[in-house]
């Protein structure tokens, strides 16, 4: 969500007539360049193409070590998969499997992104995961920024099967409208025209798997209060909120935070 602030400004200046165009450009500013895992320094990750509804989606995959879960990673709204290479390397070092799908328009995936398309794609991927990674290992969902909405609205709210062993949400938001209004309350009359509202708080009642929410106390884009609202609305019997002191929106992965993530995944995602 690195460019939502700019989106909010242009949204207010552009008016209703160009809301759709601005929404796509500013909410989904993906890097379309296709960089192989090997070129990104990840020789143990394979690239697979997942085809659904006419789209060809670039997916990075790696099998888990025995007794370890598979992390389904859903990235934020900027950059590409290669930008997350250091994160993936940390996960692989823990023995976790990985499935990271690039949304339409990102990392070489074809098509144009929208909430409708992304939701359809991730549900198809979850249902047919064996097409890219045959494995019976437990599934852990990891959502980063925009990816938290993908996890909540796209997967958890649809009662996918098998149910995930655990869910990790990094800097979750209550809705795109709320993020825009946090930038400027003057946007209120225009938010009703959004076609990708990502109403995460509405669907947070579906978060019944073990849950870890991570949020920076100094996040100016998505205030920590939005993360707390998602956490409070989640009915999960086992859940933890990790407030990272002094962290903003993009610098949450610190050594202490990583250890908390690994402990949570080990406790919730073991065979």
* pLDDT tens digits along 17-69: 455 555 666 789 999 999 999 999 999 999 999 999 999 999 999 999 999 99
pTM, to two decimals: 0.92
Mean pLDDT of 183-206: 83
Residue ranges of domains in the chain, CATH in brackets: 4-268 (3.40.50.1820)
Is residue 13 pLDDT above 70, yes or no?
no
Pair 155, 122: CB distance under 8 Å? yes
Task: In whole angstroms, give the CA distance from residue 16 to residue 24.
Answer: 14
Burial zone of 248 (CB within 10 Å; 0-12 exposed, 13-18 middle, 19+ buried): middle
Is residue 216 pLDDT above 90, yes or no?
yes
Percent of the chain residues topping a pLDDT of 70: 87
């Amino acid at each position: 969500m690195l460019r939502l602030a700019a989106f909010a400004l242009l949204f207010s200046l552009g008016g209703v007539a160009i809301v759709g165009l601005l929404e796509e450009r500013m909410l989904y500013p993906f890097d379309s360049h296709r960089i192989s895992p090997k070129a990104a320094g990840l020789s143990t990750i394979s690239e697979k193409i997942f085809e659904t509804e006419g789209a060809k989606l670039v997916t990075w995959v790696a099998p888990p070590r025995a007794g370890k879960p598979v992390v389904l990673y859903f990235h934020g709204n900027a950059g590409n998969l290669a930008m997350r290479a250091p994160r993936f390397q940390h996960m692989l070092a823990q023995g976790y499997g990985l499935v990271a799908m690039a949304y339409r328009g990102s990392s070489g995936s074809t098509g144009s992104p929208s909430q409708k398309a992304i939701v359809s794609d991730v549900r198809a991927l979850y249902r047919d995961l064996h097409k890219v990674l045959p494995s019976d290992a437990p599934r852990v969902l990891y959502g980063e920024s925009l990816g938290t909405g993908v996890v909540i609205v796209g997967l958890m709210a649809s009662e996918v099967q098998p149910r995930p062993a655990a869910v990790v949400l990094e800097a979750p938001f209550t809705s795109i409208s709320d993020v825009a209004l946090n930038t400027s309350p003057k946007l209120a009359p225009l938010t009703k025209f959004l076609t990708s509202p990502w109403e995460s708080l509405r669907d947070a009642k579906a978060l019944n798997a073990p849950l870890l929410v991570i949020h920076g106390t100094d996040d100016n884009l998505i205030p920590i209060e939005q993360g707390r609202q998602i956490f409070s609305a989640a009915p999960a019997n086992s859940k933890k909120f990790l407030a990272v002191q002094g962290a903003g929106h993009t610098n949450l992965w610190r050594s202490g935070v990583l250890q908390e993530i690994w402990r949570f995944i080990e406790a919730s995602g073991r065979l």
